[in-house]
Amino acid sequence: MDHPWQTRTQCLIEAGPADTVDVRVRFLQVVTREVARARGDELELAPELTVDGVRYLAGQESREREVAVSGVALGELMTAPSVMEVDVPADQEAVWLIDVSGRAGAVLRGWEALHGRVEVRAELLREGLFQLTVLVANTTECGRHAFVSVLAGRAGERHALLSAPIVLEERAPAAR
């Protein structure tokens, strides 16, 4: 059963059981951006700050992250899934804004922890044709994070399952 915080990607791969696949999961992580102006040794939060003609605004942005599993044989994925835990710790950073008089302020960025799980399975549909399934689950309590999965294979062709009935109709009648 799929849940809103899970995504499943499937594709067909023409390959043998000894052939390997690489799976990369890319996801976006919400980053809170604040700006602060320097007041002596202190920083004072502000909705915006202009330094040397460049305007800096408070808001949100995203940071791309990636985790990967490489060189997994399709035959191994038929007997047991490959499971990868995703753990990105919370953190923050400051970028100082400098003008002719010194430190004018800073851009402060921070992000919450992100946790997830990636499971990769393969099913042999017939000799030389596998269905690869990648399940990505976001297990973070906060719902402001996105996972986007990307599949890449080293050997054999890849076909999106959506196009499989047309592209491989004669070769994989079991694919739906």
Percent of the chain's residues with pLDDT above 90: 61
* pTM assigned to the model: 0.71
CB 31 within 8 A of CB 110: yes
Query: Sorting pLDDT into bands at 50, 70 and 90, what band is 165?
Result: very low
Q: Look at residue 152 and tell me whether its pLDDT is greater than 90.
A: no
- List C-alpha distances in Å: 15 to 90, 125, 145: 40, 11, 34
Could you tell me the sign of the dihedral formed by the alpha carbons of 147, 148, 151, 152, in that order? negative
Query: What is the predicted pLDDT for the residue at 71?
Result: 93
Query: What is the predicted pLDDT for the residue at 3?
Result: 57
- Whole-number Å distance between alpha carbons of 82 and 65: 20
Taking only the tens place, the pLDDT of each residue in 24-59 is 888 888 899 999 999 988 999 999 999 999 999 999
Query: Sorting pLDDT into bands at 50, 70 and 90, what band is 106?
Result: very high
What mean pLDDT comes out for the span 100-117?
A: 93
Which DSSP helix (H) or strand (E) runs through 76?
Answer: helix 74-79
Q: Look at residue 171 and tell me whether its pLDDT is greater than 80.
A: no
- Whole-number Å distance between alpha carbons of 122 and 146: 24
* Burial (CB count <10 Å: 0-12, 13-18, 19+), residue 172: buried
